[in-house]
A and B are shown apart, each in its own frame.
Chain A
Amino acid sequence: MDRVKSLASAILRDWMLLLGLLLLATVFFMAATAPFFFPQPPDTMMGPPLQWPGQYPGAPLGTDGLGRNILAGLFYGAQISLLVGFASVTVAMVFGILVGAFAGYYGGWIDNLLMRVTELFQTIPQFMLAIVVVAVLGPSIQVIIFSLAVVSWPAIARLVRGEFMVLREKAYVQGCIVVGMSDRRIIFTQILPNAMSGVTVMSTIMIATAILMESALSFLGFGDPNVTTWGTMIGMGKNNLRDAWYIMTIPGIALLLTALALNLVGDGLNDYLNPRLRSQRGQ
C-alpha cells in the first residue's frame, strides 16, 4: 500500500505525468467505447462528403471525401494504435530481455556473439526493414506487429545487458550463486526484477515510437487494408490538402497527443523509479 500511496503523491506532484496519464486514459477510453458510440464500422458513409467540423450534426469533427465520420475514425483508430503499440513492444520486450539477460549474465563469447547480432540489427535502417518485412509477409495487423517488434528489440536487449552486467557483480547475486541457486532462477527471479525499472521506462517511450511507425506504414498505404487507422486517415486526407485540410490535421493531432502522453508518462516513471536522476532533469 505504501508503494501505491507514494506513487499517487508522485503523480500529483508532477503535473506533466498527470497530463500524460489523463491523455493516455482518454485514448484508452476512445478505444474501449468505439463500438458503443459508433455501432457502424468506421469505413461506412455516414453523411455528405467534405463536411467541415461543426457543419454537419451527425459528424462533429466533419466527414472526409467519402462521407465517413472522422470522429468515428478517431475512436476506431485508437484501438489499432494501442493494439499495435503495446503488442509489438511486448514481443520486443520478451525477446530483448532474453537476449540481453543471457548476454549480460554469462558475458564472454555468448555476450560477444549476441551483442554483435544486436548491433547488426541496429545498423539496418529500422523503417526500411519494417517495410521489407511487411512486403515479404504481406500487410496484416499481425505482420505489422511482428515487423515493429523486429526493429524494436535491439534497444531493449542492450539496456537489459547493461543492467545485468552491473547487477550480476552485486553481493546478493554472488550470494545466490554460493547457495547453489540455478542460473535460470537467478536470472529471472533475482536480477530481472531489479532491472525492470529501466525497461519499463524505455518500453513506454518505445510504444510511442511503434505507434508512430505503424501510422507511417499505414500512411504510405502499406498497412492492413481491412482496418481504419490514424495513418490511413492522414494518407487519404492528403489528397484534400488544399480544400479540406482538417481531414489530415485531426488524426495527426490525435497521434501527436498519444505519443506525447506516452513520452510524458515515460519521463514521469523515470523520475519516480530513478529518483537519483531527478536533479539532472532539473525537476
Chain B
Amino acid sequence: MKPIRRRFPWAFLAKRVAYGALAMLVIAIINFFLLKLAPGDAAEALAGQAGTADPVYIAQLRAQFGLDQPLLSQLWAFVVRLATLDLGYSYVFNERVSVLIFSRMPATLMLMGAAIVIAVIGGIVFGVTAARYANRWPDRVISFVALLLYGTPPYWIGLMMILIFAVTLGWTPTSGMENVLAFNTGWDRVVDIAHHLILPALAQSIFYLAIYIRLVRAGMLEVLSLDFIRVARAKGISERRLSYRHALRNAVLPLVTVVGTNVGNFLGGAVLTETVFSWPGVGRLMFDAMFQRDLNLLLSILVLSSFFVIVANLVVDLLYAIINPTVELK
C-alpha cells in the first residue's frame, strides 16, 4: 500500500486534548462528591477507614482538604491537588499515593498489552475462520465456544487455569510476576516474567476474545459479500489470500474502535485478574486499598485510570485515521 501523505491533524489533537481536560475536570468533580457521599466528613471517613483514629492525623487531613472552607473552594483545592498529582499519602502503605500508583503501572500495562494482543490476534484468526466456513461446522463450533466464553466469569476462568495448567500439569507458576528468589538478571529475567505472564494474560483476554471473534466474523461476512471480493475471486486469487489480504483490511476497522473503547474495561478487569494471580499491578493495589479501606488511594486509582483511558482513546482515534485514510478528523 502506498503511504498517503497528509498533514498531522493538529487542530483535531488540540480539540481532543481540550475535551479530555474538561472530561478530567468533571471526573474529578464526580469523585469529589463521591467522597462527600461517604458517612461523616471526608477527613473522618478517610482516617477512620484507613484504620487510624489519631486526632493529629484527622486535623492534618481537615487542613489538607480545607474542610473548614466553603464547598466551592474545597472543590477547587481538590481539583488543584489532582492537577499537580498531589494525591496525598497512604498511611496503609507508607508511601505517597502518586508514587505508589506509578510504581505499579508497568506491571498492569504489561498484562493489559499482552491480553489485548492475544484477544486481537485470536479474534482475527478465529473470526476469519468462522466467516470463511459460515454456517458449516467450524463456524458453529467457534461461534458456540465464543458464546460460552462470553458468559464465563473471567476470574473463575483464571482459577480453573491455575488448577489445570499450574497445579495439575505444572507447566506454569501459580502466581506472582517473577521468581524473586532466583535473582534472575537480563534475558533470564525476561523469560521468567513471560513464563509468569502467560496464564494471567490468557485469563484476562478470554472475554474480549469472545467479543472480537463475533465482531470479526460479522464484519468479514459483510465485506465478503461485496463486489470487489467477487472481482478478486474471479481473478483467481486464493481464498486464504482473499480473506486475509483483501477482506480483513476492511473488516478489521470496527475492531480498532472497539479495542479502544475496551481499554477501560481491561483496566477494571485487571482488579480481578491481578488478585487471582497475585500480579503486582494497579488492580491488585486497588484490591488491597479496598481491603484496607484506604478510600483516598481508591479514588486516586479511579481518577488516574480514567485519565489513562482518555489518553488511550485519543491514541486510538489517531491510529484509526492512520490505518483508514478516508476518516476525516475534526
Q: Which residues of A contact B (CB under 8 A)?
A: 117, 119-120, 122-129, 131-133, 135-138, 208, 212, 215-216, 219-222, 231, 234, 238, 241-242, 245, 248-249, 252, 255-260, 262-264, 267, 280-282
Bound complex: CA of A220 vs CA of B298, how far in Å? 15
A281, closest chain B residue (CB): B218
Which listed residue, B23, B221, B287, touches A120 by the CB 8 Å rule? B23
Chain B neighbourhood of A281, CB < 8 A: 218
Q: How far is the CA of A120 from the CA of B21 in the complex (A)?
A: 12
Given that A123-B264, A123-B310, A252-B160 are contacting pairs, would A131 and B290 also be in contact in the complex, using a CB cutoff of 8 Å? yes
**B151 x A125 contact (CB < 8 A):** no
Q: Which residues of A contact B299 (CB under 8 A)?
A: 132
**Are B152 and A124 in contact, with the CB atoms below 8 A?**
no
CB of A125 within 8 A of CB of B309, answer yes
Given that A241-B163, A241-B167, A255-B153 are contacting pairs, would A127 and B265 also be in contact in the complex, using a CB cutoff of 8 Å? yes
Q: Residues 264-289 of chain B: 1 if any A CB is under 8 Å from the residue's CB, otherwise 0?
A: 11011101100110000000001100
Chain B residues close to A by CB (< 8 Å): 23, 26-27, 30, 34-35, 37-39, 134-135, 139, 147-148, 150-156, 159-160, 162-163, 167, 218, 221-222, 261, 264-265, 267-269, 271-272, 275-276, 286-287, 290-291, 293, 295, 298-299, 301-302, 305-306, 309-310, 313
CA distance A132 to B295 in the complex (A): 8
The 8 Å CB contact of B291, one of A129, A221, A255, is A221
Secondary structure of the B contact surface, majority rule: helix
By a CB distance below 8 angstroms, the chain B residues around A127 are: 265, 268-269, 271-272
Of the A-B pairs whose beta carbons lie under 8 Å apart in the complex, a sample of 9, sorted by A's number, is: A124-B264, A125-B305, A128-B271, A135-B295, A215-B153, A255-B151, A256-B148, A259-B151, A264-B147
Residue of A127, A208, A219, A221 with most chain B CB atoms under a 10 A cut-off:
A127
Smallest CB–CB gap between B192 and chain A, Å?
23
Please report the C-alpha to C-alpha distance between residue A120 and residue B302 in the assembled complex, in whole angstroms: 13
- Distance A138 CA – B49 CA, assembled complex (angstroms): 11
